[in-house]
Amino acid sequence: MAKALKAFSPTVERWWPAVLWMVLILFASLDWASGGTTFKIIQPILRWFRPDMPIAQVYEANLIFRKACHFSQFLILALLIWRTRGSWKFVSPKADLRFAGFVFLISFALAAGSEYVQSFFRSRTANVTDVFINLSGALAGILIALAIEITKTASAAKKARRRSRILLTANLLLHETERREAVLAKLRGVVLKTQPQAVVVAGNIGRPEQALECLQALKTASGGVPVAICLGPRDHWLPRDRWEQFPSPEAVRKHFWQPALEKTGVVGLDFQNLPLGDLAIVGAYGHFDLGFRDEGLSIDGEEVSLEAYLAGTAGGLEANDIRQIPFAAETLEEEAQRQSEGLSRRLAEVPPDRGILLVTGTVPFESWLDRKGRNAIDAFFRAFAGNSRMAAAILPHSERIRIAIFGGRENRENLCEVKGIAGTSLNHGTSSAEYALYDGETSTLERV
């Protein structure tokens, strides 16, 4: 019967035990279940154990038995109604306290209805005391259900932490056809070896024109686990003859990447967060605002001006990102602010009981850039490494950020913590993609 009902409707399958129990409660309110009926059952049982039991004690035992039945039948009712959580749209599985009120309301209606039915029979006694006994049973059932739910939630969170193994990488550059198969083969091998619950790419997946092709290949190589990406600078590179059509980094994202993400089911961290167990993966491209530049930098005896930075050229050097991203110089301030505000908004959306794994395509903090022992060439390119405005978006959430991953140009192994935030770069200056595995149980990152 249960299988047939389940096949008919999941809602019916969840509710029929509770509805059947309600019918039985009302049926027990009829004349046949009077005190005289239960007395005829209890008396011979008690007399069998104690033949000389006074009749007054038998009546008292009968009364206690009947009140215990009142209590227990509504305790069972509350548990059966609790079993229906989530079967109706107006019942939220997460809103336990609201649902507890819903269970109590049904129990109250049935308790009052049961006593009202009894008022029609001379052999039954309808009174308010029984209503309170019924409701105390329902309340006990609700408390038991809540205790079970809390225990299950805590256990699930603990298991989720153990399962939260996240594979992180960056700079796959899947648009480069001559190396794509080797990159994908390595990704498949690492996924097979580490068995992660998600794969996250911190920028530079491929050129915008090949967005759909790159994401399809990435998802296939990831072996069916959830995939999330934040974009990097190279994911915005376009030929100059297309700049007028797509005149900003935002236009590139909306035209090329957003439709490809929706079609493949890959999570775009520039648009939304990825919840995973007790963790939320939050990310952003980041961009650059020249806030990390050296004000007095000179190359070949000539000071590098702001105009030179905006042009992306100085002393024969060329900064490809600002020269290849559509109108990057003209939209510099606007895009940097948009990135900061977008990340701030997505961080604020994370529920307070979840930790945060932060992923960015560029360097979020200036202190994570190595200034010691660097020459003028390194200093010039450092100006395009990240967005100085990102700190204002990130730091208010520092206590919940377990680790920050970025796919920018920095290649130091050990980065200083920024207000308790540990950082790791997935760009180590090699031609191949770097991989790291985040363990949610220990909150540690291990190079693969």
Q: Which two tokens stand for residue 229?
A: 């990406």
- Split at pLDDT 50, 70, 90, the class of 97 is confident
- Split at pLDDT 50, 70, 90, the class of 87 is low
- For residues 137 and 169, membership in a common domain is answered with no
Q: For residue 91, what pLDDT is reported?
A: 45
Of 161-170, 219-228, 330-339, 408-417, give the lowest mean pLDDT range.
408-417
Q: Examine the fold and report which residue of 111, 128, 156 is the final residue of a domain before the chain moves on.
A: 156
- For residues 305 and 372, membership in a common domain is answered with yes
- For residues 195 and 120, membership in a common domain is answered with no
- For residues 274 and 412, membership in a common domain is answered with yes
Q: Is the pLDDT of residue 89 over 60?
A: no
Q: For residue 226, what pLDDT is reported?
A: 95
- For residues 249 and 174, membership in a common domain is answered with yes
- For residues 225 and 250, membership in a common domain is answered with yes
Residue whose structure tokens are 């050129």 = 207
List 128's β-bridge partners, or say none. none
Q: Is the pLDDT of residue 387 over 80?
A: yes
For the beta carbon of residue 55, count every other beta carbon within 10 angstroms: 8
d(CA 115, CA 130): 8
- Domain of 326, CATH number, reads 3.60.21.10
Q: Which two tokens stand for residue 424?
A: 């790791």
Bridging pattern class, strands 401-406 and 355-360: parallel
**Structural domain that includes position 64:** 2-156
pLDDT in tens, 283-293: 999 999 999 99
Helices (DSSP H) in 83-176: which residue ranges?
Answer: 96-118, 128-163
> How many independent structural domains does the chain possess?
2
- For residues 144 and 246, membership in a common domain is answered with no
Burial of residue 109 (number of CB atoms within 10 Å: 0-12, 13-18, 19+): exposed
Residue whose structure tokens are 């109250």 = 108
Q: What is the strand order of the sheet 165-169 is part of? A: 267-268, 227-230, 198-202, 165-169, 435-439, 444-447
Q: Is the pLDDT of residue 203 over 60?
A: yes
d(CA 367, CA 79): 56
> Exposed e or buried b for every residue in 127-165, given b needs 16+ CB within 10 A?
eeebbebbbebbbbbbeebeeebeeeeeeeeeebbeebb
Q: Examine the fold and report which residue of 156, 172, 205 is the final residue of a domain before the chain moves on.
A: 156
Mean pLDDT score, 116-137 = 84
- For residues 274 and 339, membership in a common domain is answered with yes
Across all residues in the chain, what is the average pLDDT?
A: 87
- For residues 358 and 237, membership in a common domain is answered with yes
Q: For residue 92, what pLDDT is reported?
A: 45
- For residues 201 and 222, membership in a common domain is answered with yes
| Short-list 348, 364, 361, CA closest to 417 | 364
Q: For residue 44, what pLDDT is reported?
A: 85
- For residues 189 and 334, membership in a common domain is answered with yes
Nearest 10 degrees: Cα torsion 286, 287, 292, 296: -170
Cβ proximity of 219 and 227 under 8 Å:
yes
List 167's β-bridge partners, or say none. 199, 437
- For residues 228 and 129, membership in a common domain is answered with no
Q: Examine the fold and report which residue of 101, 124, 156 is the final residue of a domain before the chain moves on.
A: 156
